[in-house]
Amino acid sequence: MHKKIMVQGTGSSVGKSLITAGLCRIFYKDGYTVAPYKSQNMALNSFVDIDGLEMGRAQVVQAEMGGTLPRAYMNPILMKPNSDNNSQIIFMGVAHKNMDAMEYFSNTKKLREVALEGYSKIEENYDIGVLEGGGSPAEINLRSVDVVNMGMAELIDAPVILVADIEKGGVFAQIYGTIMLLDEEDRARIKGVVINKFRGDVELLTPGIEMIEKRLADEGYPIPVVGVVPHIEVKIEEEDVLAKKLTSKKTRDEITISVIRTPKMSNYTDFDVFEFYEGVALNYVDSVEDLGDEDMIIIPGSKNTIGDLLFMKERGIAEKIAEEAGRGKLIFGICGGLQILGRRIEDPMCVESVHGGEGALGLLDIVTAMGEIKSTYQVEKAITECEGILEGLSGVKVRGYEIHQGQSSGRNRAFLSGEENVSYYRDNVMATYLHGIFDNGEFTRHILNYLRRGKGVAERSEMVDYEARKAEEFDKWENHLREHLDMERIYEILK
């Protein structure tokens, strides 16, 4: 018999995604088939499943932690912002259309149908479904059109655990305020509270826990605190951690890499693997002043490539990258970054932006045309016979996935095999449509050692097995939650 539990939060960035992922891991290790589910996700980080369908990356990590293949029905509604007031809407992995908020919420009936279609797959195929909410359930102005928090819980009659973030301060106000703002029926769905990101002596928190439980019980809501989870550093991909990465102090190491931070940057998870390499510093930069002393510049993917190209031009970043390329520095583009490195981007139907076209950096002899049909594939390619940077890697296999509206053509050589050209290189400028290319250990070790040789630094034999390193972090988080959550009560909450 299928059972379910939903993780909601007192706000954004309270740790819902990681708590959801950890529960998936625990249930999986306890012998159950388990799947994550988030009905509606707004994110620029996305993934392509085995059917070529697009989904948010948070549910990919949660599925991996639950020992199952990521499938688009685990995130049936994906919203990918391409401007401040417009998003591309993806239903069950397929791009539907661009909508603003008013049009989106006017389609609530359709959204609920899509949400239920997705969850029906979970119900049919797994013992346990672990649902994640979005933001806060106490957005009272949106309750009538909600499909991601209590609206979703109501649709499938799911019990809810509420996660609060003590690191932000005012944790008891978060808990009490959220619960008391809910309608009576929604309030009754909350069966437990988790206090997350705790630092210090838990004994000092105990009186507060007893008081909040008593206050709620006295008002007719006997909701227990089912865990106090201490802060712990884990290298697990999260949607909400990018802001911390972008605002962190710039660092230098044996090898320093600069990733251009653009307003609509997507799939920054392409670079998470570098955290596991010794002697490598990765910085996200958005000003020309922060460029020049790195060993490699990466232009990442984008949901509004022309808009991000204009941003780079306005800030002098485009000109600076061209200068650094002229000095022989390695410049690498992924997806939208590939398009930006070409001669021109055409968007006559305004698929991504209001701009019909724009001259690009011209570091590669390619032209990109945006189209309404989106390319979404999982792929495996072999590195071709290459000279220069990739010399010695011929035949090495790399895996990844493609997500792009544009089709590129040009005269530069490919460094990946296949009839359809998804890669280009010329001297020290390289680009590919393949997201996840740096997850391939042999390829990345080769690139880093190329950079080391250029600096006269000793090469390293280290080759990161990214899947194995991720599994270590998954187990670390699972064990941490087992220690600090009352799993016996959580199993009782499952419905």
* Distinct helix (H) and strand (E) counts, the chain: 15, 24
pLDDT at 95 over 60: yes
**pLDDT surpassing 70 at residue 74:** yes
3-236+472-493: CATH, from 3.40.50.300, 3.40.50.720, 3.30.70.270, 3.40.50.970: 3.40.50.300
If you write DSSP's letter for every residue of 195-237 in order, what string do you get? EEEE-S-GGGTHHHHHHHHHHHHHTT----EEEEEE-------
Q: Are 97 and 59 in contact (CB under 8 A)?
A: no
Element (H, E) at 429: strand 429-432
Lowest mean pLDDT among 149-153, 160-164, 302-306: 302-306
* Residues assigned a catalytic role: 335, 435
pLDDT (0 to 100) of residue 292: 93
Whether residue 33 is predicted with pLDDT greater than 70 in this model: the reply is yes
pLDDT tens sequence across 439-463: 999 999 999 999 999 999 999 998 9
Range 217-228 average pLDDT:
97
3-state secondary structure of 363: coil
- Topology of domain 255-456, CATH: Rossmann fold (3.40.50)
Mean pLDDT confidence for 206-215: 97
Sequence ranges of the chain with CATH classification 3.40.50.300? 3-236+472-493
What distance in Å separates the CA atoms of residue 304 and residue 319, rounded to the nearest whole number?
Answer: 20
Q: What percent of the chain has pLDDT over 70?
A: 98
Residues 160-192 have pLDDT tens digits of: 999 999 999 999 999 999 999 999 999 999 999
pLDDT, tens only, 276-289: 999 999 999 999 99
CA 300-306-311 angle, 5° bins: 75
- Residue 455's Cβ-count burial label (10 Å; 0-12, 13-18, 19+) is exposed
Pick from 334, 341, 351: which is nearest to 268 by CA? 334
Label the pairing between strands 46-48 and 54-56. Answer: antiparallel
Residue in this structure with the two tokens 């991720």, named with its chain if needed: 470
Q: What one-character-per-residue DSSP string does 252-263 give?
A: --SEEEEEE--T
- The DSSP call for residue 445 is H
Q: What kind and span of H or E run contains 266? A: strand 265-266
Domain with CATH 3.40.50.880 in the chain: 255-456
The confidence score (pLDDT) of residue 352 equals 73
Percent of the chain with pLDDT strictly greater than 90: 85
- pTM score > 0.75 for this model? yes
